[in-house]
Structure 1
Amino acid sequence: MGFYIRKSVKAGPFRFNLSKSGIGVSSGVPGFRLGRGPRGNYVHAGRHGAYYRKSLGGSGTRSGSGSGTRSGRRGTGRARARQGTPTTGGVPGPSLRDATGVEPLHLEPTGGGDLVDQMNEAAGRRAWFWPSVALFALVGLVTMPLGLLAWLVAIPACWWLWQRDRARRTAVVMYDVEDELDEWFDALVGNWAWLTGSERIWRVVAEGAVASPGQRKSRAGATDLVRREVARASLEGPRHLTSNVVVPTLAAGSSALYFLPDRVLVRDGKHYTDVAYEHLTSTAGTTTFIEQPGTVPSDARQTGSTWQHVNKDGSPDRRFSHNTRLAVVQYDQWRARSTHGLDWRVQVSRENAARAISQTLAQRPGPA
């Protein structure tokens, strides 16, 4: 198995164990646990080398939990675009149109199974831990000195509520991937370092063409304008999911993509949907972007320079005494789209990062 597989995961007071026989779940405190597994119910007690275990009868059922499905290979491509940052100059700017595709709320799940339903149900449940902490704190202050007793009672009660909230607000999925799918997902996790190691990542959320010569002259000669929001790559996974695999994650604002072995989870706020890999198209390329002085990431490649107010021949417009010199930078651009309306366009400061991720997604093995 790959280095990313764990045999046991926790969700609140529950521990889920993956074995060749199936999936088991147990709960308890150090030294005593009750559990249910593929071979039935059991009790386990003991510490420091002395243990007692007894079966309680009853046949176990094997859990069906998100085993990795396989889909067809996807092709890669390259896209180039000249993009500029909006600037001031007294000339009305072009209108920007949304570039984020269909909202996840209206994106129909295509990954199969009930994982999305479980995630949305878990995300929608109310957490009682913090309201309870506030209530106990208030009661303790009002009833001093008896409030000290209320605070002593609150410690185990709030701990139990915290564990209960974690369990109720978490969906558990255990993967048992192997062979080519195991190697592919292992490679995706490893290559995700191209993104986590990038100094800057952005998601393009709106774009518009600079149509008139007057607009281009006051906007450093840019032919297109975009609006971006800062994105972050990690291996954290969604907060409402507990799994035995690490999850490559790309988050921007209130939205995020989570790459699981069998699907891509899509989040917008507390709403989840998914996209099957056979419906996902990934392309990579480069794009040029005009940056303000001092904002160029250290791992990006600067290809030239221009001016805030520029003439048609590229020379600075001498009518402006304060005409800032700007950097022209080349970024990697990665675009993930689905046939159902998902559209994520990402700029990465690290060179070749987009190509590494896009090629890895394209190499996902198809059905046997």
Structure 2
Amino acid sequence: MSFNFRKSIKFGPGRLTFSKSGVSYSIGTKGARITTGPRGTYVTLGLHGLYYRQRITSTIKYRPPTVPGYDELTEPLLHTITSEAIDQLTDSDSKAFVEELNAKTNRISYFRWFCLFPATLFLICLFVYFSQDSYTEEKTTYFIAVDSLNKVNVRQNPNKNGNIIGSADNKQYYAIIDTLGKGWSKIKFGDTVGYIAKQYSRIDSIKTPIHTYARFETNKRDLISLSIIGAAFFIYIGIVFYKQDKQRLLVEIYYEIDDHIKEVYDKFLRNFTELLASQKVWQYLHAERTSDYKHHAGAGKLITRISIKRVSTNHKPAPFFRTNIPVPNIKLRNSDLYFFPERLIIKRDKQFAAIFYKHLRIDCADIIFIEDEPVASDAQVVDYTWRFLNKNGTPDRRFNNNRRLPKCLYSQYHINSGTGVNEIITTSKQGAFNEFAHIVKAIAKLQQYYAAH
């Protein structure tokens, strides 16, 4: 049996109440009172058994669960997670390299402008011209038209004494069967045949389209000839302009790799490949602090994320980029990250930036993420919560669609630099990018050592 205690005494203009939950004080008249106590301040209105109660303030503070790396005092309410403008990201050691890279990649392509586009225009013109109609095949049908203001007799035999089988009005038309030389025409009259005098009729005709032929059906030789000439011409100038583009736009980076460096770089590539083993990889776009924990499954921060478009162990930054090593690549929403042996190259549209690893950081952290999407098979579920929560963590039964949500242990990687690089990726597989981050850090320390000596 539970123990309850409640005692109320008059104290000044109101009443002081002692109970198991604490001390409260109320003031007012019958049917309208204000009460303040350990559970907050309430207004109570009503008479004769019907009451309305509304809480004004609450003294109970509900705190969100601790999120690793989340600083409530310094984190802005809403911010976009993205790097600075591309022209601000390059470090001082890479400026000359990036200037040459941007200068070459921003030149116009002769092959594209003087071969590919004209060839496309030529094909469109060829298609439009030979798709047009050349001529239409027609069938001519002859018939008898009555040409008399009065009714004309239609006879059974081709003479004036033949039996009359009917009459025809002016401008009536009949299918012609034969024209006789004695002044009569044989026609189809209803279900039978009859004869009508030529002096009261005339022969007329109508043309019916049978088939319309396009130019590519009637001028096949011209089409084949123009196609061969055009193909030969554009193949020739395409080869010429492609060779010129290769000379003008070619960017070459070749590395001399001895056995020791090769061992380190093989480990570099092997550790990057671990990222491919994660079933899901996301990019963070926006982060927003929230105090509405009740309606957001108890989360203290709302994250907008998207799946990363591409993770590749070898993808070149430009068509005329040549190197003797594989180049790992992560394609984000508006940027491409290329991890070279000594530096990170970032591509956005047609602009490049580069940062030596000594100026770059990849911060690793394990985070608890409340997942509302299907859980990846390699994700580790550490707990569960509810889409809508009560203060004590139990599900709010007022919501019919109150789903049970898993709390997943993910790995978060913050790629940042003092020049303005700021990208966050998350993996469903725990520690999928840890080893790669560690080897980048080791390369950074080596670069700092050589810079100091």
- Same fold flag (TM > 0.5): yes
Q: Which residue in 2 is equivalent to 1:107?
A: 89
Within the alignment, does 1:355 sit opposite 2:434 as a pair? yes
**Aligned partner of 1:217 among 269, 291, 294:** 294
- Conservation of the 8 A alpha-carbon contact between 1:265 and 1:274: yes
Give distance in 2, aligned partners of 1:113 and 1:244: 23
- Please give the alpha-carbon distance, in whole angstroms, between the structure 1 residues aligned to 2:261 and 2:90: 25
Code of the residue aligned with 1:274 in structure 2: it is A
Change (3 A) 1:348 1:140: same
CA distance in 2, matches of 1:308, 1:204: 21
Tell me which of 372, 387, 390 is aligned to 1:308.
387
Q: Is the 8 A contact 2:69 2:365 kept in 1?
A: no
CA RMSD of aligned residues (A): 2.6
Corresponding residue for 2:187? Answer: none
Q: How far 1:157 moved relative to its partner?
A: 2.9
Structure 2 distance, partners of 1:229, 1:156, is: 45
Secondary structure at 1:226 match in 2: strand
Amino-acid identity (%) = 25
- Relative to its length, the structure with more strand (as a share) is 2
Q: Say which SS state the counterpart of residue 192 (structure 1) adopts.
A: helix
Residue 101 of structure 1: CA displacement?
Answer: 3.5
Matched, 1:122 2:96: no
Q: Secondary structure at the match of 1:157?
A: helix
**1:169 to 1:348, Cα distance in 2 relative to 1, 3 A:** farther
Whole-angstrom CA distance in 1 between matches of 2:85 and 2:375? 31
Matched with 2:117 is 131
The residue identity in structure 2 corresponding to 1:132 is P
Q: TM-score, normalised by structure 1?
A: 0.68
Structure 1 stretches of 5 or more lacking a match? Answer: 1-78, 84-93
Question: In the TM superposition, what is the alpha-carbon distance from 1:169 to its structure 2 partner?
Answer: 4.0
Rounded to whole Å, the distance in 1 between the matches of 2:88 and 2:429 is 33
Query: Higher relative contact order by CA 8 Å / sep ≥ 6: 1 or 2?
Result: 1
Give the equivalent residue in structure 2 for 1:339: 418
**Cα distance in 1 for residues equivalent to 2:86 and 2:406:** 35
Flag the 1:140–1:97 CA change in 2: closer, same or farther, 3 A. same
**Is this contact kept in 2: 1:181–1:261, CA < 8 A?**
no
How many residues in Structure 1 have an aligned counterpart in Structure 2? 276
Any conservation in 1 of the 2:271–2:436 contact (CA below 8 Å)? yes
Counterparts of 1:1-368 in structure 2 under 5 Å?
Answer: 80-81=68-69, 96-112=78-94, 114-127=96-109, 128=112, 129-141=115-127, 142=129, 144-145=222-223, 146-148=225-227, 149-162=229-242, 164-165=244-245, 168-178=248-258, 180-210=260-290, 212=291, 215-231=292-308, 232-235=310-313, 236-240=315-319, 241-293=321-373, 295-364=374-443, 365-366=446-447, 367=450
The 1:299/1:331 distance shift into structure 2, 3 A limit, reads: same
Could you say if the C-alpha distance between residues 164 and 329 of structure 1 is closer, same or farther in structure 2, counting changes exceeding 3 Å?
farther
Whichever residue aligns with residue 357 of structure 2, its letter is Y
CA radius of gyration, larger in: 2
Note if contact 1:335-1:344 (Cα within 8 Å) is conserved in structure 2: yes
One-letter amino acid of the structure 1 residue matched with residue 270 of structure 2: G
CA displacement 1:241-265 (0-9 Å, x = unmatched): 2211111111111202111122111
User: Are the counterparts in 1 of residues 94 and 355 from structure 2 also a CA contact under 8 Å?
Assistant: no
- TM-score scaled by length of structure 2: 0.56
Check 1:204–1:111 CA distance in 2 against 1; reply closer, same or farther (3 A cut).
farther
